[in-house]
Amino acid sequence: MSTPRATALNAADLVKTYPGGRGAPPVRALDGLTVQAASGSVLALLGRNGAGKSATVKILTTLARPDSGHASVAGIDVLRDPDRARHFIGLIAQKSSSDPLATGRENLVLAGCIQGLSRADAQVRARELLDRFDLGDAADRLVRTYSGGMARKLDVAIGLVHRPQVLFLDEPTTGLDPEARAQLWAEIGRLSKVEHTTVLLTTHYLEEADQLADRVAIIDAGRVVVDGTPDELKRDLRGDSVQVDLAAASQAALPALRRVTGLRDIAADGARLRARADSGAHAVPAVLAALDAAGVAVASVTIARPSLDDVYLRHVGRAFHDQTEEAAA
Amino acid sequence: MTTTASPATFPTPRNIGKGKPARFLVHSGYVTVRSVRSLLRQPTFAVMTLIQPIIWLLLFGQLFRNVIHIPGFTTASGNYLEFITPGVVVMTALFSSGWAGTIYIQDMERGVMDRLLASPVSRGAMIVGTVAYQSITTIAQTVVIFVIAYASGARFPGAAAGIPITFLAACLISVVIASFSDAVALLLRQQEALIGISQAIILPLQFLSSAIMDTRVAPAWVRDVARFNPVDWAATASRAALSAHTDWGVVWPRLGLLLALSVVLGWLATRAFGNYQRSL
């Protein structure tokens, strides 16, 4: 249908503001966001809550309109021709989009019919998807009796019922147990590799982006701060990350670390210190000695190869996990 | 492009956009079926939907039985049950349809609304689906009311034309109120706000009409307000059509007004999707 590396998804200079309400200034959710995905690839948008991930998905799926900018999906301008674009996109929203008072099969058949499949075709497709997502046994039970993981799998199946060329998954694995998450990851990988579906997923999980995505775009304050393949992003960070957890937060810790030669990107966050070094193994004795000399008690030291968390820290200025934990609290 | 062999026809640039009017009706049908199925899956709710109008008919029929003796109260037969039967039909349609928007609120709270809006279903079909569902409910309730009224001894000399016209008037009121409720749901997106507004509007609409009381015994201002009240149009038209000597000059203009109002409110509700999407 389309040439293998054609651009299946293109957002350029998207700006979106929301009214602040009650005299508050407008909120700029997207501030010139630009991102692209090649046909058949998986693009992950990574960022904390409110960074602009969902706003981007809403614009690309024709739900919201930007104040300015361009957006196209499967070669169709979604702002000029949303009706046409809707035939080629699948949306798996953050919240469950199945009907709890219908069975899994009824949900799928109805979704298929709405997407333009004949009733017979929709039934064939529903059976196919129920088997593929291991929901065969639960097919004729009401969705309200499903577990969270089953309901999520059904959501994904509903999004796939019309074989969309571009699939949008908004935080697909939030709240899933590890087994359900692994199953969904395998399915997303298969979609891209076997069915050549272009996938855009937003996620809170660095591990998820690392595992699944061909390209990762880190979003902060409505802009893409950096994007590339996970390996490219990590390669940009030379050396290892060194993380020191102190027994208790200490004012003396940061100045002590600054005196250690070979340490870069030193940052403190409560009782946790982070830094980078060409060789973590060589840096650790010096780090411990410096902290000991300053009278700071250390609880643990971790050395790691660069992770997406480090990439995030470098480009956004704060560690990803700490922010998401804050957001969840 | 895909590895799974399937005979199904999936959307391609060539096969979309064909048969738009047919697609509109088919989509409206799917949205209607979905709601009817949900109702049938909640038997207690479905049964209560049918029992409530019976309670109203019998309760008001007893409670206000003697109002017909108030000087100025005009009934064709001097039987209050016969007077309020069309009134309770309209009132039931009014109260049931006021809740129509709650389906949208539930869909918004889940991801159903976003999924439907990102699919090829037109906004118009989504409105038609919900008002069609309300009309089906209204028809079932109206059947029950007439059965109970006849069983309780009410007789309607103009029944042959009057009963179909009562069904029509009740359905039109359902469309008017359900469209209004849908629009409020899309504009305010909040269950509490929808309930508050519905109640603030439905009760006055009910009591500033001739549904259960002849407005000729009410103060003059009530009569003046009732002339602009669609609930009164529906009750008056139905009652006139059920009477022995139907004045069609009373029936047709009111049905015409109801029809015009349903079209206008249906269109406004469809426009309200734009407002909802601007909030996304």
Q: Of B30, B37, B280, which is closest to A113 when you measure between CB atoms?
A: B30
- Distances A237 to A212, A229, A230, A242 between C-alpha atoms, Å: 21, 13, 12, 13
B26 touches chain A (CB under 8 A): yes
A266 touches chain B (CB under 8 A): no
A127 touches chain B (CB under 8 A): no
Tens digit of each residue's pLDDT (9 = 90 or more) over A169-206? 999 888 788 888 898 899 999 999 998 999 999 987 88
B41 touches chain A (CB under 8 A): yes
Which residues of chain B from 108 to 167 reach within 8 Å of chain A, CB to CB?
A: 109-112, 114-121
Please state the φ and ψ torsions of residue B13, each to the nearest 5 degrees.
Answer: -55, -25
Task: Give the position of tokens 């039109």.
Answer: B172
Cβ-based contacts of B117 with chain A (< 8 Å): 62-63
Contact A210/A308 with Cβ under 8 angstroms? yes
A190, A278, A179: which is closest to A237 by C-alpha? Answer: A278
Q: Provide the pLDDT for residue B8.
A: 59
Cα angle, residue B69 at apex, residues B63 and B70 outer, rounded to 5°: 95
CB contact under 8 A, A97 and B4: no
Cβ-based contacts of A84 with chain B (< 8 Å): 16-17
Confidence category of residue A3, pLDDT binned at 50, 70, 90:
very low
Each domain of chain B, given as residue ranges in start order, spans 42-278
B123, B127, B226, B131: which is closest to B173 by C-alpha? Answer: B131
Rounded to a whole number, what is the distance in Å from the CA of A114 to chain B's nearest CA? 6
Which pairing describes strands A42-46 and A215-220: parallel, antiparallel, or unpaired? Answer: parallel
Q: Provide the pLDDT for residue A5.
A: 52
CB contact under 8 A, B3 and A194: yes
B1 touches chain A (CB under 8 A): yes
Q: What residues have CB less than 8 Å from B25, skipping those under 6 apart?
A: B125
Each domain of chain A, given as residue ranges in start order, spans 7-234, 238-305
B193, B33, B175: which is closest to B93 by C-alpha? Answer: B175
**CB neighbourhood size of A233 (10 A):** 26
* The pair of three-digit structure tokens given for residue B125, joined into one six-digit string: 């079909």
Rounded to a whole number, what is the distance in Å from the CA of A111 to chain B's nearest CA? 9
Q: Once rounded to an integer, what is the mean pLDDT over residues A31-57?
A: 93
Cβ-based contacts of A96 with chain B (< 8 Å): 110-111
**CB environment A151-180: b (16+ within 10 A), e (fewer):** bbbbbbbbbbbbbbbbbbbbbbbeebeeeb
B44 touches chain A (CB under 8 A): no
Q: Provide the pLDDT for residue A326.
A: 46
Residue A322 has pLDDT above 70, yes or no: no
CB contact under 8 A, B8 and A124: yes
Architecture of domain A7-234: 3-Layer(aba) Sandwich (3.40)
Q: Provide the pLDDT for residue B3.
A: 43
Task: Give the three-state DSSP class for A300.
Answer: strand
Rounded to a whole number, what is the distance in Å from the CA of B269 to chain A's nearest CA? 17
Rounded to an integer, what is the distance from CA A8 to the centroid of its chain?
18
Q: What residues have CB less than 8 Å from A226, skipping those under 6 apart?
A: A217, A218, A233, A311, A315
Mean pLDDT for chain A overall: 89
Rounded to a whole number, what is the distance in Å from the CA of B1 to chain A's nearest CA? 7
CB contact under 8 A, B11 and A87: yes
Tens digit of each residue's pLDDT (9 = 90 or more) over A146-166? 998 999 999 999 999 999 999
Task: Give the position of tokens 């040439």.
Answer: A3
% helix, strand, coil for chain B, step of 5 = 75, 0, 25
Q: Of B1, B9, B110, which is closest to A96 when you measure between CB atoms?
A: B110
Q: Of B4, B10, B114, which is closest to A97 when you measure between CB atoms?
A: B114
Please state the φ and ψ torsions of residue A313, each to the nearest 5 degrees.
Answer: -55, -45
Q: Of B12, B34, B118, which is closest to A86 when you measure between CB atoms?
A: B118
Burial class (CB in 10 A: 0-12, 13-18, 19+), B22: exposed
Tens digit of each residue's pLDDT (9 = 90 or more) over A204-225? 788 888 889 999 999 999 999 9
Cβ-based contacts of B8 with chain A (< 8 Å): 117-118, 121-122, 124-125
| Global ipTM | 0.88
* The pair of three-digit structure tokens given for residue A278, joined into one six-digit string: 């060409």
Residues with pLDDT less than 70, chain B: 1-9, 13-19, 76
Cβ-based contacts of B33 with chain A (< 8 Å): 110
Q: Provide the pLDDT for residue A68.
A: 96
The alpha-helical segments, DSSP class H, found in B98-190 are: 101-109, 112-117, 123-151, 159-188
* The pair of three-digit structure tokens given for residue A281, joined into one six-digit string: 């193994």
Task: Give the three-state DSSP class for A241.
Answer: strand
Cα angle, residue A159 at apex, residues A154 and A161 outer, rounded to 5°: 90
Q: Provide the pLDDT for residue A262.
A: 85
* Chain A residue nearest residue B41, CA to CA: A101
Residue of higher predicted confidence among A325 and A39: A39
Crossing angle of helices B191-207 and B230-242, in 10° steps, is 50
A287, A189, A187, A198: which is closest to A246 by C-alpha? Answer: A287
- Distances A129 to A132, A144, A187 between C-alpha atoms, Å: 5, 19, 11
**Structural fold of domain A238-305:** Alpha-Beta Plaits (3.30.70)
Rounded to a whole number, what is the distance in Å from the CA of B100 to chain A's nearest CA? 17
A195 touches chain B (CB under 8 A): yes
* The pair of three-digit structure tokens given for residue A209, joined into one six-digit string: 């982006």
Tens digit of each residue's pLDDT (9 = 90 or more) over A293-314? 999 999 999 888 877 777 887 7
